[in-house]
Amino acid sequence: MGEIAGFMKENLIIGVLSTENASEQDLRTELEIEFGSVDFVSKRLEFNFTTYYDDEMGQGIERWFYSFEKLVAPEQLPAVKIKTNEIENRHLRDGNRKVNLDPGLLDLNRLILATTKNVGHRIPLSLGIYGEITLIYMKKDFHPLKWTYPDYQSPEYIEILKEIRTLYRLKIKELREF
């Protein structure tokens, strides 16, 4: 029988979808108030994988990622998702989201995204939030699964996530040295 141990802390990331250039600094400030200092901001990428968000958010949607310096316990992911939903609601205009926040946890083995949508491959966590393993890391790269959204399969996203994984590796190395 295996020994029960606590979970290792993971790297909080938040993927942002938005057309709002002016609100980027305000959004980052809000996120840092809630989750601590950002240690990585990706370049902005054109979001052209689907038109799903166009009616609500408009044209010219971009995606970028934040990584947070402070590592979090995996069991905190539902609370993070609830908080990011509250932040999205503060950015509503005429009932439409202008910011979509996708929080997740990245460790050396995978990327898990939080969601409110119940589908067969998602695991109930708590508070009405589900976790989805979106990418698996093996053989020195992230690999998508059958259900991985097309944008998260793109080489650009995978390169960004590998950069964040490198940061995470340094963070856990520092923790182990203490």
129 and 116 in contact (C-beta within 8 Å)?
Answer: yes
Can you give the residue range of the structural domain that contains 79? Answer: 10-177
Least confident of 74-78, 82-86, 95-99: 95-99
The 8-class DSSP code of residue 6 comes to: P
Banded pLDDT at 174 (limits 50, 70, 90):
confident
Within-domain flag for 2: no
Pick from 36, 108, 43, 101: nearest CA to 72: 36
110 and 8 in contact (C-beta within 8 Å)?
Answer: no
Within-domain flag for 24: yes
β strands within the chain, DSSP E: 10-18, 38-41, 45-46, 62-72, 99-106, 110-115, 123-126, 129-138, 141-144
The C-alpha atoms of residue 43 and residue 40 are separated, in whole angstroms, by 10
Within-domain flag for 21: yes
Within-domain flag for 5: no
Within-domain flag for 1: no
- In this predicted structure, the answer to whether residue 168 has a pLDDT above a threshold of 70 is yes
The C-alpha atoms of residue 169 and residue 147 are separated, in whole angstroms, by 26
What is the number of structural domains in the chain? 1
Q: For residue range 24-47, what is the model confidence (pLDDT) as tens digits?
A: 788 999 999 999 999 999 999 999
Within-domain flag for 26: yes
Within-domain flag for 93: yes
Within-domain flag for 132: yes
- For all residues of the chain together, what is the average pLDDT? 94
The C-alpha atoms of residue 139 and residue 2 are separated, in whole angstroms, by 26
Q: For residue range 104-117, what is the model confidence (pLDDT) as tens digits?
A: 999 999 999 999 99
- Put simply, whether the predicted model's pTM sits higher than 0.85 gets the answer yes
- In this predicted structure, the answer to whether residue 175 has a pLDDT above a threshold of 90 is no
Q: For residue range 116-141, what is the model confidence (pLDDT) as tens digits?
A: 999 999 999 999 999 999 999 999 99
